[in-house]
Amino acid sequence: MLLLVGLAVAGLALVPLGYVLATTAELGPKEATDFLWRPRIGELLWNTVRLLVAGVVASTVLGVAGAWVVERTDVPGRGWWHGVLCAPLAVPAFVNGYGWVSTTHAVQSYGGAVMVVTLSYFPLVYLPTVAALRRLDPAVEEVATSLGRSGWSVFLRVTLPAVSPAVLGGALLVGLHLLAEYGALALLNYPTLTTAVLQQYATVFNGPEATLLALVLVSFCLLLLGIEAVLRGHRRRARVGSGTSGEPVRIPLGRYRWPVVAALTGVAVWALGVPLGALVRWLLRGSTTGIEVGELVQASATTLVLAFAGGVAATLVAVPVVWLAVRHRGLITTAIERSVYTASAMPGIVIALALVTVSIRVVQPLYQTVVVLLVGYTILFLPRAVVSVRSTFELVPPGLEDVARNLGCTGPQVARRVTLPLVLPGLTAATALVALAVATELTATLLLAPTGTDTLATQFWSQASSIAYGAAAPYALALVLLSVPSTWLLGSLSLRSGK
């Protein structure tokens, strides 16, 4: 039964891939080769690859370094810095891009693109890493230190390997985000395969050329998943008993104390100060700033409802997938889990086109209804929910459930009294993460939403792309404010020691 549900989810998640393959097949092999084998595609590939590599590396370095400083050193104001390092999650990448572009044109370059996406996405590495560090029994590191290892060596040989699944999971998310990023890169005028798919879409709707490009993106996605799987390995990570509850020994920063604080401040100014400063500047000027309160409230309400519904839907769908992958590890269950990721490397627009095509032809009454929109969100953001749910499920030792069962608990009781309390933080985090993503989703929403539906993201985009920077600012600000609770929730969940 569970397997059937899993297969159904995988089937749904593979609809976009099926659509992409079917549409691409309309092109003959010769036409396809002619289209792909052009200087233009080479240029797009090169742009995509170098952004992907630099963005993932920079986000990982920044995220891990931040997490280590906050969790393992005596930097002053640790709680505050934790908040600061989570906060960029509340600033959608396209708002960040808008803030930077309307401040300086220098960011309309490769370096600028890498910088903006890194500042937007490093929290995706930071959050799981900080959580893993917090959960890691400091005794392990203490033993290594007492055996004569230096601080660096302990970090590289003991700490880093122990938190590597979290870091890898985060890096994978960053990579997938970068493959699918549109809004920020469009504003930064940095063409990638994804922006090219959007351009194809804007000129021919769902032509085979666009899906051909999407197919290239899918192969990138598979490559990333493969790399992550190889690096993750098969080590068992769950353990019974969560170790001592003692505070870890914090490494004194000594003379590096203020340089580290300065660096953190720099990150704060770059990732938060600049975009929010630009927002405030635009709010204060420009004749288009006359705020339409009614529209703003309506768009906020729509966004909230969709974000919550999307978050819950994706999380509920993620549970059976993760359960199968973790507890019934096997070829099929792993395939089910991995299939979920294929959609995430495709731009939202491709998922949307797949659903438009399927719903026009197969389930016409659902076309342009909120149901299809929610299905779209679920497919699009399932990977996020799966990563988050999985990270907690993996930490639940199966032994605990067996023990509970041996002690006479029935299945549902085990689920309610043992498993659920242990995984609840993961489920909540998954819902928050997806809700956050739904709130800022742009391209799929534009296409799938029922006619007349305005969300904050679509309103922001429509204003920002028609010169009305001032009119765009209130929507961006509302988007940021709406994202704060989810971000705060994610931030505080990551600090729960799980003890």
Partner 1 sequence: MTTLRRTRRNRPAARHLVGLAALALTAPLLQSCGLFGGDKLVIYNAQHEQLIEELAPAFEEATGIEVELRHGKDLELSNQLIQEGDASDADVFLTENSPAMSQVEAEGLFDELPSSILDTIPAQYRPESGLWTGFVARSTVLVYNTDLVEESELPDSIMDLADPEWAGRLTFSPTGADFQAIVAAVLELEGEDSTRDWLEGIKENGTVADNNLVALEAVNSGQSDVGIVYHYYWERDRAEDGDLHDSSEQHYFTDQDPGAFLSISGAGVLESSDMKEEAREFVEFLVSEEGQQILADSYALEYPLNPAVELGGVKPFGELQPPQVNVSDLDAEAVVDLLTEVGFL
Binding window for partner 1 (CB under 8 A); candidates: 23-31, 116-124, 264-272, 407-415: 407-415
Cβ 436 vs Cβ 483: under 8 Å: yes
Cα 291 to Cα 365: distance, rounded to the nearest angstrom: 36
C-alpha 344 chain-centroid distance = 10
Selected binder of partner 1 within 470, 474, 482, 491 (CB under 8 A): 470
Looking at the Cβ atoms of 9 and 85, the one nearer to partner 1 is 9
Looking at the Cβ atoms of 13 and 312, the one nearer to partner 1 is 312
Cα 369 to Cα 450: distance, rounded to the nearest angstrom: 5
Cβ 296 vs Cβ 283: under 8 Å: no
Looking at the Cβ atoms of 67 and 184, the one nearer to partner 1 is 184
Q: Is 417 in the site for partner 1 (CB under 8 A)?
A: no
CB of 323 to partner 1, least distance (A): 8
Binding window for partner 1 (CB under 8 A); candidates: 72-80, 85-93, 205-213, 489-497: 205-213
Q: Is 469 in the site for partner 1 (CB under 8 A)?
A: yes
Q: Is 415 in the site for partner 1 (CB under 8 A)?
A: yes
Cα 67 to Cα 204: distance, rounded to the nearest angstrom: 45
Binding window for partner 1 (CB under 8 A); candidates: 101-109, 220-228, 231-239, 336-344: 101-109
Nearest-CA neighbor of 387 among 294, 479, 322? 322
Site for partner 1 (CB under 8 A): how many residues?
70
The CA–CA distances, whole Å, from 191 to 194, 196, 239, 289, 455 equal 8, 7, 46, 30, 26
Q: Is 465 in the site for partner 1 (CB under 8 A)?
A: yes
Binding window for partner 1 (CB under 8 A); candidates: 64-72, 230-238, 381-389, 459-467: 459-467
Q: 210-219: b or e for each residue (b if 16 or more CB lie within 10 Å)?
A: bbbbbbbbbe
Cα 421 to Cα 432: distance, rounded to the nearest angstrom: 17
Site string for partner 1, 286-325 (x = CB under 8 A): xxx---------x--xx--xx-xx--xx--x--xx-----
Structure tokens at 423: 């995984």
CB of 453 to partner 1, least distance (A): 6
Nearest-CA neighbor of 320 among 11, 81, 17? 11
Q: Is 368 in the site for partner 1 (CB under 8 A)?
A: yes
CB of 404 to partner 1, least distance (A): 10
Q: 14 to 53, contacts with partner 1 by CB under 8 A? A: 35, 38-40
Looking at the Cβ atoms of 173 and 186, the one nearer to partner 1 is 186
Site string for partner 1, 165-184 (x = CB under 8 A): --------------------
Residue with tokens 């890096």: 171
CB of 129 to partner 1, least distance (A): 31
Q: Is 356 in the site for partner 1 (CB under 8 A)?
A: yes
Binding window for partner 1 (CB under 8 A); candidates: 11-19, 155-163, 199-207, 334-342: 199-207
CB of 360 to partner 1, least distance (A): 6
Looking at the Cβ atoms of 126 and 190, the one nearer to partner 1 is 190
Q: Is the dihedral of CA 490, 491, 492, 496 positive or negative?
A: positive
Nearest-CA neighbor of 98 among 182, 188, 162, 179? 188
Per DSSP, 273 falls in state: I
Selected binder of partner 1 within 414, 430, 436, 438 (CB under 8 A): 414
Binding window for partner 1 (CB under 8 A); candidates: 10-18, 83-91, 153-161, 354-362: 354-362
Residue length, the chain?
Answer: 499
Q: What is the CA radius of gyration of the chain?
A: 23
Residue 222, Cβ density class (10 Å: 0-12 exposed, 13-18 middle, ≥19 buried):
middle
Nearest-CA neighbor of 243 among 141, 166, 128? 141
Three-class SS of residue 252? coil
Selected binder of partner 1 within 139, 202, 420, 481 (CB under 8 A): 202
Q: Is 191 in the site for partner 1 (CB under 8 A)?
A: yes
Three-class SS of residue 284? helix
Cα 399 to Cα 131: distance, rounded to the nearest angstrom: 23
User: Which residues does 223 contact at the CB level (< 8 Å), separation at least 6?
Assistant: none
Q: 61-97: b or e for each residue (b if 16 or more CB lie within 10 Å)?
A: ebbbbbbbbbbbbebeeeeebbbbbbbbbbbbbbbbb
C-alpha 109 chain-centroid distance = 24
Q: Is 204 in the site for partner 1 (CB under 8 A)?
A: yes
Cα 482 to Cα 496: distance, rounded to the nearest angstrom: 23
Q: Is 219 in the site for partner 1 (CB under 8 A)?
A: no
CB of 245 to partner 1, least distance (A): 31
Q: Is 187 in the site for partner 1 (CB under 8 A)?
A: yes
Interface residues toward partner 1, by CB under 8 A: 1-2, 5, 35, 38-40, 102, 105, 108, 186-187, 189, 191, 195-196, 199-207, 209, 286-288, 298, 301-302, 305-306, 308-309, 312-313, 316, 319-320, 356-357, 360, 364, 367-370, 405, 410-412, 414-415, 446, 449-454, 458, 462, 465-470
